[in-house]
Amino acid sequence: MIEVKNLTKTYGKKQNVFMALDDVSFTIPDGASVAILGKSGSGKSTLMHAMSGLDRPQHGEIVIDGENILKLKAKAVDKFRATKMSFIFQSFFVQANETCFDNVSLPLEIANVSGGERRKKVIAALEAVELGDKIKSKAKNLSGGQKQRLAVARAIVNSPKVLFADEPTGNLDSTTGEVIEDLLFGHTKTNGTTLIIVTHDPDLAEKCDIQIRIKDGKIESISEPKKAEIKKPVTRRIQ
């Protein structure tokens, strides 16, 4: 369970104070998929950064597994991120000059996983995203969709509790985007991983259990959690 309590984050000083997050509170149950929706500048990215411990808001609490990560020391937050969290970004951020194996191996190296263990997990993760035949290929030789699949493999390799995805399909066409979405939802549901997607794509948000809409740093609305068992067929809106 992730509890966000009275989160407030401001930029600037005195007259120029800008409220990026204004008293934000909500709760996310374990294993749920959550979409954080909002226009650019609404504070949705700031919220994600705060929840992942990358940013330090001035007030509030973020309690994950009973621990307020805002109270932890930098070293402990790093360890938390290395073992319990992972990320997917809009621009992939895969290391072009490194092989797929080394790209996926990075989070495990950071988490001090031994070499043999690492090999097993990396290969499993690459196979899960259907890149099993690209283990030794350099990332720069992959297509955009393959790169994002590689990023997904990197995100799931350390079996995180929480997976943050920042516009994961923003740079992809709708077909490849769908592949990535299926991968993400499929993996997180089967492994009970909490998935937090920051997006302004309403279709993608629709597929999540909970939608949190943010406007001007405040929560505009939170949808009631859908029941996880009911799998509603999703239709794409014709654009």
Partner 1 sequence: MRLRDITRRAGRSLKNAKARTLLTSLAIGVGAFTITLSLAAGTGGKQYAEDIVSSNTNVKELYVQPKQDAQGDSSQPKEYSDTPALSYGGGFSLKLLEQSDIDKITKIDGIETVTPIYNVTAKYVTREGQKKYQTSVEAFLSTITQEYAAGSGDSVTGNEAILPDTFSKALGFENPDDAIGQTIDVVVSGTIPGSGDKTFPLTIVGVTKKSELAAVSGQSGIQASSEIVKEMYQFSQKGTPIENAYMGATVLAQNEGDVESIKEKINQQGYDAQTAEDLMGFIFQFINVLQGILIGFGALAVLTSVFGIINTQYISVLERTQQIGLMKALGMRRRDVGRLFKLEAAWIGFLGGAIGSGLAFAAGSAANPWIRETLTLGENTNLLIFQPWVFGVVIIGLMLISVGAGIMPARKAAKLDPIEALRTE
Which region among 58-66, 109-117, 178-186, 202-210 touches partner 1 (by CB under 8 A)?
109-117
Nearer to partner 1 (CB atom), residue 114 or residue 190: 114
34 binds partner 1 (CB under 8 A): no
Binding-residue total with partner 1 (CB under 8 A): 30
Closest contact distance (angstroms) between CB of 222 and partner 1 is 25
Nearer to partner 1 (CB atom), residue 8 or residue 27: 8
Which structure tokens are listed for 192? Answer: 């009970």
Q: Phi and psi at residue 101, in whole multiples of 5°?
A: -60, -50
Q: Identify the burial level of 143 via C-beta atoms within 10 angstroms of its C-beta, where 0-12 means exposed, 13-18 middle and 19 or more buried.
A: exposed
Pairing of strands 2-11, 18-28: antiparallel
Closest contact distance (angstroms) between CB of 87 and partner 1 is 5
Q: Measure the CA–CA gap between 149 and 146, rounded to whole angstroms.
A: 5
Show contacts with partner 1 in window 39-58 (CB under 8 A).
49, 52, 54-55
106 binds partner 1 (CB under 8 A): yes
Q: Which of 2, 33, 35, 81 binds partner 1 (CB under 8 A)?
A: 81
Q: Measure the CA–CA gap between 49 and 168, rounded to whole angstroms.
A: 15
Residue labelled with tokens 């089967």? 190
Q: Measure the CA–CA gap between 2 and 28, rounded to whole angstroms.
A: 5
Q: Which of 17, 74, 230, 238 binds partner 1 (CB under 8 A)?
A: 74
Closest contact distance (angstroms) between CB of 78 and partner 1 is 5
Q: Measure the CA–CA gap between 29 and 38, rounded to whole angstroms.
A: 21
65 binds partner 1 (CB under 8 A): no
Q: Phi and psi at residue 212, in whole multiples of 5°?
A: -115, 120
117 binds partner 1 (CB under 8 A): no
Closest contact distance (angstroms) between CB of 205 and partner 1 is 19
98 binds partner 1 (CB under 8 A): yes
Nearer to partner 1 (CB atom), residue 166 or residue 181: 166
Q: Which of 31, 89, 119, 203 binds partner 1 (CB under 8 A)?
A: 89
**CB–CB of 87/49 below 8 Å?**
no
Nearer to partner 1 (CB atom), residue 9 or residue 213: 9
Q: Measure the CA–CA gap between 219 and 213, rounded to whole angstroms.
A: 6
Q: Measure the CA–CA gap between 93 and 128, rounded to whole angstroms.
A: 19
The amino acid that residue 182 corresponds to is D
Q: Kindly state the helix (H) or strand (E) to which residue 10 belongs, with its residue range.
A: strand 2-11
Residues making contact with partner 1 (CB under 8 A): 49, 52, 54-55, 74-75, 78-83, 85-87, 89-91, 93, 95, 97-98, 102, 106-107, 109-112, 167
